[in-house]
Amino acid sequence: MTSQTGSHPARPLPGRATSRATSLAGLIGFALLLVAAALLARAAAHLVPPAYWLDALRDPAPGQMATLLLRDALLPRFVVSLAAGAALGLSGTLFQQVLRNPLAEPGTLAVFSGAKLAVMAATLFAPVLLTFGPEGAALLGGLSSFGAVALLGARRGFAPLVLILGGLVVTFVCDGLAQALLLFHHEALTDVLVWQSGSLSQNSWEPALALSGVLALGALATIPLIRALTALELDENGAQSLGVAVAPLRLAALMLAVGLAVAVICAVGAIGFIGLAGPALARAAGAVTLRQRLWQAPLMAAALLALTDQLVQMLLGGAMPTGAVTAVLGAPLLLFLLRRVRAGHVAAPILAAAPPARGTGAWPLLLLAGGLAALTLVALGLGRAPGGWALVTGEDFTAMFHWRGPRVAGAAAAGALFAIAGQILQRATGNPLASPELLGVSAGAGLGLLAVLFLAPAVTPGLMLGATSLGAGAVLAIMVALARRASLAGESLLLAGVALTALLSAIGAVVLFTGDPRTIILLEWLSGSTYGVTLSQAAQAGGVLLAVLLALPLLRRWLEIVPLGRPLGRALGLGGSVSPLLLAVAAVATAAGTLMVGPLSFAGLMAPHMARLMGLNRPLPQAIAAALIGALLMVLADFLGRTLAFPWQMPAGLVASLIGGGYVLWLLWRRPA
């Protein structure tokens, strides 16, 4: 790993300016902490008058619920928020220093998702691992998921954007597997769901004392590493010339960072983005050296988490898990920090499709159409029953078609719509990894759906399609504007889209915790299930697909010219209104597909990529092939979800996201430096 793979501010000249900056950073942290303490005092005064606080702490009167709440709930919760925030701030600082990556933290590196998945799996299949608590399983899961991310990053020299994109995709895969376990074993995992929600609620001092002890041990273990970690700001040869054993140092620091994060998740669940915000705020306030960041970043993170938790208690009554709120606030922070990681920090594109052979032959299209027809017949006629596999024919087929027909048609239409949207986006941006899922367009459609559910007096299919189209179009317009201003590289745009998808998931989690009856629609949509698709819904998706297919011949010339760039496009007569029209078609296609199978399927990424690998490089044949491939993928995902885990069913969107997430990870792996 070389110094070119990260982003660090230049080392300042020693003197009074650095001292003032350091003082400012510390003052800001202490000021935030004082505000949080003031809010704590306000809440405590509502329970017990200040004159009786000491008596309540020393010997609460029997039967006095207010004094017990003060001593065993309110105060331990405040201490836990401080200890958890400081631990995550220290963990994030270590990750960022070792990996030379200002975006690194336990959440973006998949430590949290791996730990949660491991505890869920151990609860179901190896409860003996939980005999002494979840720490062992969580540590194993966190290390495994981070190890997978590190292996992906190592093949690209630990380039920051490669590492974070890999981390977020690993997070999607782990979360998908966790959701699959939850679908099959919801009752057995109820306690795990409460544990992983990120709630800081306490009923004793035990977790606070345990987490504070882990934090103290982590800080003590960091002290002897400071000098060697500072040398890592040089390149690898420079650090070794100073006598630093680079590989053992990295391993020790990363193990320490993972251990601190796992301790937090075992105590209070996943607290997203605090490990990113603490170091970022400390650096922005003037903490530029490692020694400064090692105490100011934990201070900032502790104050930020404590302040957020106090505001959650004051404004929401403490009913909302603080971890969900920090995730909502953290995704915009990630988008902001992306501007600091320029394209120059990545020596080559993260991913690129292999150069395809040019071709427009009809044989690939005929084979794909035949394959889709055969798979559709299998999906309609083949299923599992208590006695085993069963193939229905004749009148039984007609009767079963009433149940299977709409869901198969809806899945096929959604896959084709995602594929066409992905092909338009890839040609419009010149990026083979652009897709509705990775650019956040599906997330925008989800935000439009949320707006309709909570603002419209009556929800109709047409209104849902219109709102999701507007949401998808708005996000797409933002992404294109960012690209045109050249403030973000292509890889950063992908990561920004993934951050928007994470933001949607966090907002969805917050909304689900409200208990509003309208969240049932949101829950069904998030799962990507085709179980309840009606004939009218499938017909609506099919109608949108037909309109998009009819529009493709009219867009063919524009799709041919757009990849050549704006100057050459203008020279060839490409008008300024072309891009908005293409984006509108992609937005409507994404919205209609998202309503069928949820926000994350990766069909929009895989299908155009596979069409290019088949040698179809002209816009119209490529779009038709991509649509057929997308339909194939989603029909297959629906069939597998219906049959693999019989008598349970896995949502088609979930199955497709697991397949697609694995595909993205394979693409990351196959592109060596």
- The pLDDT of 298-309, averaged and rounded, is 92
What does pLDDT average to over the chain? Answer: 80
pLDDT of residue 393: 81
Calculate Rg over the CA atoms of the chain. 26
Residue 312, φ and ψ in degrees, nearest 5: -60, -45
Residue 28 CB neighbour total at 10 angstroms: 20
Q: Does any domain span residue 12?
A: no
Question: What is the domain extent for residue 557?
Answer: 363-669
Same domain membership, residue 38 and residue 114: yes
pLDDT of residue 325: 81
* pLDDT band per the 50, 70, 90 thresholds, residue 628: very high
CB 100 within 8 A of CB 158: yes
Same domain membership, residue 389 and residue 341: no
Same domain membership, residue 296 and residue 261: yes
Same domain membership, residue 307 and residue 426: no
State the amino acid at position 325 in one-letter form: V
pLDDT of residue 20: 53
- Per-residue pLDDT for 459 more than 90? no
Residue 102, φ and ψ in degrees, nearest 5: -70, -5
Alpha helices by DSSP H, 269-362: 274-284, 290-316, 322-338
Question: pLDDT tens digit string along 515-525?
Answer: 667 666 776 67
Q: Count CA atoms within 13 Å of residue 12 on its CB side.
A: 16
Q: Does any domain span residue 354?
A: no
Q: Does any domain span residue 652?
A: yes
Same domain membership, residue 443 and residue 341: no
CB 387 within 8 A of CB 646: no
Lowest mean pLDDT among 172-176, 300-304, 519-523, 621-625: 519-523
Same domain membership, residue 327 and residue 390: no
Same domain membership, residue 650 and residue 502: yes
- Per-residue pLDDT for 549 more than 60? yes
Residue 406, φ and ψ in degrees, nearest 5: -60, -40
pTM: 0.79
Q: Does any domain span residue 4?
A: no
Lowest mean pLDDT among 83-97, 277-291, 298-312: 277-291
Same domain membership, residue 550 and residue 472: yes
Alpha-carbon span 606 to 626, nearest angstrom? 9
- Total domains in the fold of the chain: 2
Question: pLDDT tens digit string along 417-453?
Answer: 999 999 988 887 777 777 887 777 887 888 888 888 8
- Per-residue pLDDT for 665 more than 70? yes
Residues across the chain: 673
Q: Which of 300, 317, 345 is the last residue of a domain?
A: 345
- The pLDDT of 122-136, averaged and rounded, is 86
pLDDT of residue 515: 62
Question: pLDDT tens digit string along 251-278?
Answer: 899 999 999 999 999 888 888 788 888 8
- The pLDDT of 120-147, averaged and rounded, is 89
Same domain membership, residue 367 and residue 341: no
pLDDT of residue 145: 93
* pLDDT band per the 50, 70, 90 thresholds, residue 353: very low
CB 442 within 8 A of CB 590: yes
Q: Which of 289, 316, 345 is the last residue of a domain?
A: 345
Same domain membership, residue 320 and residue 379: no
Domain of residue 35, CATH code: 1.10.3470.10
Same domain membership, residue 610 and residue 657: yes
Q: Does any domain span residue 509?
A: yes
Same domain membership, residue 273 and residue 416: no
